[in-house]
Structure 1
Amino acid sequence: MLRISNIDDINSGLDALVALDPRLEAVRAIAGEVPLRLTEPGFASLASIIVSQQVSTASAKAIFGRFSTLVDPLTPQGLLAAGEGVFREAGLSRPKQKTLLAVARAAADGLDLDDLCRLDAREAMATMVAISGIGPWTAEVYLLFAAGHPDIFPARDVALQSAVGHALGIDPRPGEKALIRLAESWAPWRGVASRLFWAYYRETRGRDAAPPAGNPA
């Protein structure tokens, strides 16, 4: 199965998307650089995505910076041994605390987050959402950035909904179900389409709304 692993893959995907949907040529021109945003798979990358849920990019980076300093190395074993005080010091909400602990326990019990990236996307999604607190958005973003899956589009992402609505003149902006249907026409390059619209959002709104995932490229 194809993986998005370098900037040439991004450019190939963008060329294919424009051929599939000529409207995206203008979106590409405005978006400018479309980053790879690939990160090493593993617990730290998934933790950074969990931390970024429902907060601004700046807040997520600050909280994750504190958290990764307090739990060093940031591994499942390190977190389970650290105690709950680190969550309060980092500024993490109670639901995120529970999710991080659930992931750490699953990993300690044998879940291999690296091997997960080699699975078919549907199988990997099913495995991830079975963990308490892990929803589709978190699983999708992990598989996009840590596994390089080429055909995942996190339609629940508000920034993507806003960017697609603005770029394609859809008012009000498409919701999750409408965006899922719309993105079907961008298969098998929906993973590149998501990066394209996050880049478009950055250029039109003046801020980066793509979820952080570890230290993306």
Structure 2
Amino acid sequence: MHEQAIQHFKNADPILDYVIGKVGALDYTPESDGFAFLVQVIIGQMLSAKAADTIHSRLLAKVDGTVTPTAVAMLEEDSLRSLGIARRKAQTILALAQQVIQDPQVLEDLSSLDDRQCLTRLCKYKGIGPWTAKMYLIFVLDRPDVLPLEDGAFLQAYRHLYGDADIETRASVWKPYRSLAARYLYRFLDLGYCR
């Protein structure tokens, strides 16, 4: 699919073609642990990557390196807060852990839903909004056509490359591969090209 998508980008968007030339081939594997991924993303809401990584590392140390629903559910809210996790996020993480313990298939079942249904299902949990849900669709479910308009890193790379051009209009030429286009913009940013 990547070759087909890259050819599509080459024909549809010379700026994205330039980005692909700078970044090179993308090699990635979808995240295999949906719960651990969601916990990490919830921690990272509205934080810099550095701050989020620091807090996530503390949580990993607290649960002996593996973020499972059972390990998380054994922690008190105050224990999570002592790691630097805000109260609302701690409550969301604990509620999610309990949900997955009660229904171990709750996250796996998302793979059978379409993108809109997945977003709706994830956003029904207090503390999970469109940004967190879209990160799940892109990085866990590997859905091909998700546009992360709520993501600061994506927006930073986009504005560096496209200025004030309307994102949804511009990104319409990336369909049906908008997730891969977003991955290229993330990588472009990570490699330090957006100065």
Q: TM-score, normalised by structure 2?
A: 0.87
Q: Secondary structure at the match of 1:77?
A: helix
Relative distance call for 1:97 and 1:16 in structure 2 (3 A) is same
Relative distance call for 1:37 and 1:164 in structure 2 (3 A) is farther
Identify which of 33, 36, 46 aligns with 1:41: 33
For 2:59, give the aligned amino acid.
F
How many pairs align?
192
Determine if the alignment matches structure 1 residue 201 to structure 2 residue 189: yes
Identify which of 77, 83, 86 aligns with 2:79: 86
What does residue 20 of structure 2 align with?
Answer: 28
What does residue 156 of structure 2 align with?
Answer: 162
Structure 1 unaligned runs (5+)?
A: 1-8, 207-217
What does residue 185 of structure 1 align with?
Answer: 173
Deviation at 1:34, TM superposition (A): 3.2
Percentage of identical aligned residues? 30
CA distance in 1, matches of 2:110, 2:186: 25
Of the structure 1 ranges 88-97 and 120-129, higher mean CA displacement relative to structure 2 is found in 88-97
Determine if the alignment matches structure 1 residue 146 to structure 2 residue 140: yes
Higher RCO by CA contacts (8 Å cutoff, separation 6 or greater): 1
CA distance in 2, matches of 1:104, 1:122: 23
Relative distance call for 1:86 and 1:126 in structure 2 (3 A) is same
Answer whether contact 2:160 2:194 (CA < 8 A) is retained: no
Deviation at 1:156, TM superposition (A): 1.2
What does residue 61 of structure 2 align with?
Answer: 69
For 1:159, give the aligned amino acid.
A
Q: TM-score, normalised by structure 1?
A: 0.79
Deviations 1:145-191 (A, max 9, x none): 111101111111122112112112x24xx6xxx42333222111001
For 1:86, give the aligned amino acid.
S
Answer whether contact 2:77 2:87 (CA < 8 A) is retained: no
Q: Secondary structure at the match of 1:30?
A: helix
Deviation at 1:33, TM superposition (A): 4.7
What does residue 96 of structure 1 align with?
Answer: 89
Answer whether contact 2:77 2:91 (CA < 8 A) is retained: no
